[in-house]
Structure 1
């Protein structure tokens, strides 16, 4: 790894820490009623089978419908798992419109692994 790579790595991990959150942190935000907006970008059928309490389903074909996002709250976005890039793509899309965004690390699968509440 050369100096350029280490600078890029520093930038990457600094942004990752600043713009992502884990399931434990999200659960805490929900428990203390932090002013957040949770966006589930999975398919509607998957959302219907189970989702994080308080989340709003906004699949990729509806990303131009910005009515569900907030400029005044942090919009926490999640998809299926850590290998799914829908949440990152959505975060990039919404940030381009000036919305504050974070990505849930590990997505819905990681939330379930912690046995946190699920709404069906």
Structure 2
């Protein structure tokens, strides 16, 4: 029987290394963003590119609310030029964070997209701010360990 996985050969290890290093230069996951926010990392700015209604429904504490359509006109007044911008939108089924990242890149910012978006932030049990205040939802065991490690890292990948 022909292998579905092996029917297309894997890339040469050097090509694979370049590919995966490239992906990491464009993406950050929610656990890494959370760790940096907890550590007080000043070299990043987390940007929520969703609508005002979505922002009120829930967002990451400390994020800057900057809908994609407003990035070109407002980014310079809100985001320092020397930070790496981390964009997020709803989740994997939404490309809003990708569009926002493109807008920041066109303005000359270093930028990464937070893969998983707000959905995975909430599903991993990280705190969110809503119109009613801060809340933490239960951890989804399909996305993260139910208890953080001794180091406080959720994912541990």
* TM-score (ref. length: structure 2): 0.67
Q: Could you say which residue in structure 2 is the equivalent of 1:30?
A: 37
C-alpha displacement of 1:15:
2.3
Distance in 1 separating the partners of 2:68 and 2:79: 14
Unaligned runs of 5+ in 1: none
Unaligned runs of 5+ in 2: 1-7, 131-157
Alignment of 1:89-104 (within 5 A): 89-104=99-114
Larger CA Rg, structure 1 vs 2: 2
Q: Could you say which residue in structure 2 is the equivalent of 1:118?
A: 128
Aligned residues: 119
Q: Could you say which residue in structure 2 is the equivalent of 1:81?
A: 91
Question: Is the 1:38–1:55 Cα contact (8 Å) retained in structure 2?
Answer: yes
**Larger relative contact order, structure 1 or 2 (CA cutoff 8 Å, min sep 6):** 1
**4+ runs of 1 displaced by more than 2 Å?**
5-15
RMSD across aligned C-alpha pairs, in angstroms? 2.1
C-alpha displacement of 1:13:
3.4
Distance in 1 separating the partners of 2:16 and 2:64: 33
Distance in 2 separating the partners of 1:15 and 1:105: 14
Partner-residue secondary structure (3-state), 2:125: coil
Alignment of 1:20 with 2:30, yes or no, is no
